[in-house]
Structure 1
């Protein structure tokens, strides 16, 4: 059922949101009940931001590519913070 999958996606996105917040990153749950996503923002440079969705047990970027499996929240957070980091 679509609603059950969306509920699971919201719960998985919240786990990722908490992990990112623990690392000092800002992430808000956005979207609709059926299509939730996280808006992740680098606090040091808010222009460095992107959306992350959860589909089929995988976290993925708004533009499509997979980031990591839902059972690897820490690894997924590592990849997100690496991509959205400030490069000096």
Structure 2
């Protein structure tokens, strides 16, 4: 059975975020079902976080595992910056 169009959209947006995170030195593993990213810092694998994305009336947003919004999907660079701040201010790239 083919994936729903909404899942393709999530996978696309999460792929953009994964590229931004990897460019900053983070590990980002795309999970297919349900679509989400598992983000880890390779220097300290003790901390990891899951990020997904959701459609809301104001558009699509990246979202933390605890439900808070990270950033609009149109700005994966800003989302990656915010995620890095949660990982203790790590800067990459």
Is the structural similarity TM-score above 0.5?
A: yes
How far residue 44 of structure 1 moved from its aligned partner, in angstroms, is 1.4
Aligned pairs, how many? 84
Q: Deviations over 1:21-78 (max 9, x none)?
A: 111100000141xx21000001111112100001111000111000000001110000
**CA-based RMSD:** 1.6
Higher helix residue share: 1
Distance in 2, Cα, partners of 1:13 & 1:47: 22
1:71 aligns with 2:71: no
Gaps spanning 5+ residues in structure 2: where?
Answer: none
Which structure 2 residues correspond to residues 1-88 of structure 1 after superposition, within 5 A? 3-32=4-33, 35-56=34-55, 57-85=60-88
SS at match of 1:41: strand
Give 5+ residue unaligned stretches, structure 1.
none
TM-score normalised to structure 1 length:
0.89
TM-score (norm 2): 0.84
Q: How far apart, in 1, do the equivalents of 2:43 and 2:89 lie?
A: 7
**Displacement over 3 Å in runs of 4+:** none
Q: Displacement of 1:86 after TM fit?
A: 6.5
Larger relative strand fraction: 2
